[in-house]
Homo-oligomer: A and B are copies of this chain.
């Protein structure tokens, strides 16, 4: 219902569009920008000058092209000087990184996370990692903010972690705790790890150019980041994508170590506990234990093979449901779902093909992440960069 934009809004949109282009595509000639953005050369020149003046991009001559004539100037994001802090809070570890404009991880730290660590305990550890990294930040750098990827349901309004079934967090204000620890005035934005990883893979990873994507992320539990029509689907409060709590068995297993209080959730069939239990390793836990099951299956261990096949079949079962509901172009398997998919691709595809509707199966591609484990960090940084891209000169 909104009316067209004012002149000021148009300038902001144009500045944002140009900066976003080089943020996603890297160094770009002025000529390419003219074509890509549909603006004339003088407008591109003026916008670039404004962004360069704010220290967000630089201009230079391209490498030798071998062609005659004056080469078009190249516009580069100031990746080393404009950055965001990114945090990833996972079941077994904490990660912090400094991510430059353009999506380059400039520096990083990783810490073990005991499974009972609270948000109040995690914040100083992450802040400590940031303080270490701050020593290496060059002068005249611009920090645009911080983003946090967390396993759990995040309230969009304020970043409160309402429920992190696998971290044990309930109503933990991790964003506020980090802001207080860092003592800085950069805004901290919190998102669900699957959502932000989907965001990153969509912007610059496996799903680049795809408008309808499901990124399935597993650790102990399972969640999804969903892109529909080119936009993130996060629901009314920000809690969307809880596909691990899609019930697939009416009177199934109680959802272990999860406060959902229900039974028969998809993650009770494809999550860490299910795979370890079916492989006869109920006492084990963690990523390494899971990888040991895949390894044993690879080496011919019958019980491990059976557990992997069964979980793969259930993986295909739930993916088929999501494919029928969303008609995506791509499903990406991240975290432990990557390992499971790679170990049981035949079962996943077979169940997907038998349960999926033909029209929905036509164009869907199954993929692993291109950004690997960095997707969570790069996606968390994207949360912070979003504000810069919406209004480059105000935030810059």
Top 7 nearest A-B pairs (CB, nearest first) are A235-B327, A4-B13, A4-B10, A3-B37, A240-B327, A239-B327, A3-B17
A interface residues, Cβ below 8 angstroms from B: 1-5, 9-14, 17-18, 20-21, 24, 36-39, 153, 155, 162-163, 211-212, 224, 228-229, 231-243, 245-250, 260-262, 317, 320-322, 324-329, 354-355, 357-360, 362-364
Whether A162 touches B359, Cβ cut-off 8 Å, given contacts A4-B13, A321-B246, is yes
Cβ contact within 8 Å between A233 and B358: no
Whether A1 touches B13, Cβ cut-off 8 Å, given contacts A229-B231, A235-B360, is no
Q: What separation, in Å, do the CA atoms of A337 and B91 have in the docked complex?
A: 41
Cβ contact within 8 Å between A325 and B240: yes
Cβ contact within 8 Å between A237 and B363: yes
Whether A20 touches B3, Cβ cut-off 8 Å, given contacts A212-B235, A235-B360, A321-B247, is no
Further contacts, 12 of them, CB under 8 A, given A4-B12, A228-B228, A231-B231 = A2-B37, A3-B17, A3-B37, A5-B13, A212-B236, A228-B231, A236-B327, A236-B329, A239-B327, A242-B324, A246-B321, A247-B320
Cβ contact within 8 Å between B359 and A153: yes
Copies in the complex: 2
Residues of the B chain whose Cβ atoms lie less than 8 Å from the Cβ of A211: 236
Cβ contact within 8 Å between A17 and B1: yes
Whether A246 touches B162, Cβ cut-off 8 Å, given contacts A3-B18, A37-B3, A236-B211, is no
Q: What separation, in Å, do the CA atoms of A30 and B11 have in the docked complex?
A: 28
Cβ contact within 8 Å between A245 and B357: yes
Q: Which listed residue (B5, B231, B233) contacts A10, Cβ 8 A?
A: B5
Residues of the B chain whose Cβ atoms lie less than 8 Å from the Cβ of A235: 212, 228, 326-328, 360
